[in-house]
Structure 1
Amino acid sequence: MAIFIIVPMFLVIFFAFTDKSGSFSLENIMQVGQYSNVFLRSIWLGAIATFVCLLIGYPLAYIIAHCKARRQNVMIMLVMLPMWMNFLLRTYAWMTLLEDNGLINNFLAAIGLGRLPLINTPGAVVLGMVYNYVPYMILPIYSVLTKIDNSVIEAAQDLGADGKRVFLKVVFPISMPGVISGITMVFVPAVSTFIISKMLGGGANLLIGDLIDMQFLGSAYNPNLGSAISLVLMVLILICMGIMNQFDDGEKATGGIMI
């Protein structure tokens, strides 16, 4: 932990509060404010991607959790299968599909619907985020749903609850720890990504990860400003995680639920 967490954190903080000569300075932190639109765009697109992942991931996790054990293993393997391929190659694949002369637009042109501007759009960035991060939403929710005792559901049904009420009052509250974990595991990498926005969003959809990448590896080399931006992003993510943790009540996973 000291090597891989504390030392890098110390270096980020040190560079964020110093200038190029190594003297203490708040100028880097003050300059972060001029990139507020990039922060807002990153949080907005990351939140949309997280919401879409939840809409897709929860029903799929619910279906998998209620399959037979042998089928569950097969379906989980299919969910994880794309993750066995390199992240960069998966994103390149979507570029091939979405570009102006890609497979999707060629198909639309062939059936007479015309070509659509799919690549280099915010929608393409969100699509890339969802595709790459939806397994991180499915797996924690699935792991919680599989642990729900059937006797709890049967007890709710014996008390007169229909299917909808059982789900809203019993299943969903018990699965909240998995939902919170999934939201965290998707939102954090989505809001700080840079390769997806660079490849699928083009220069018009600059995200905070791209901005940090430019400060360290681009022509505008400025590690002090890059560290300040990273530090502010880290604080924002911690605040978001703290807010989400307020909705996670561990007692619901083991205690009784009022129907």
Structure 2
Amino acid sequence: MAATILAMVPSYISRSVAGSYDNEAVAIFALIFTFYLYVKTLNTGSLFYATLSALSYFYMVCSWGGYTFIINLIPMHVLLCIVTGRYSSRLYVAYAPLVVLGTLLAALVPVVGFNAVLTSEHFASFLVFIILHVVALVYYIKGLLTPRLFKVAMTFVLTVGLALCFAVVAILAALVASSPTKGWSGRSLSLLDPTYASKYIPIIASVSEHQPPTWPSYFMAINVLAFLVPAGIISCFLPLSDASSFLVLYLVTSVYFSGVMYD
């Protein structure tokens, strides 16, 4: 049913094999497949699906520069799960292999290279990776010690963890400060600040796809999905799980970015 509805959406038709025969036709599949495997790993805790998710991410890196959306959205969801007290071993298995294996594979792509570890688009994934390990260590120690000893151990772990996070943030800040664009690409800055391209990079702003869409064109592009989105959001909360919370976060960020850049 979802595939049938999606097949009637004009914006998807123009970006699929039926419409453009462009790299985005491959990239859209890789994007959705990576998210599918990530959610599958969240539900099963299988290292096999986590490895496939990293390989699918590598496929996305090879096909389109929009892969940075993946490596920022998934860390946002992991951080959301940690903050809301939904940490689990399945969350760790779903995220850790994706960052380690996915980053190593992404660095093999000539166009990306060391940008996979040196640009600001990737820093959020590394910071959340450290936070995830600190939280995992806290949960592991909690299962070994008595409540009294756990308080002492947690103080030590959090102190060391915060010191490590501050050190990483300081290193990343030094790398970012050395770049005129603070380590961000012009396209990413245009997404975060819709007025950036028109002020500093006119060639990006001159492309019609990089302009914010008008309301008529926006509704025409997403077609029937505009009326099904509210029902989809409600269903995600009945009940709210790790997988459904990811779908809500995916929806919110997609609505924002599609409203900023009609790409």
TM-score normalized with structure 1 length: 0.27
TM-score normalized with structure 2 length: 0.27
Larger radius of gyration: 1
Higher relative contact order, chain-length normalized (CA < 8 Å, sep 6+): 1
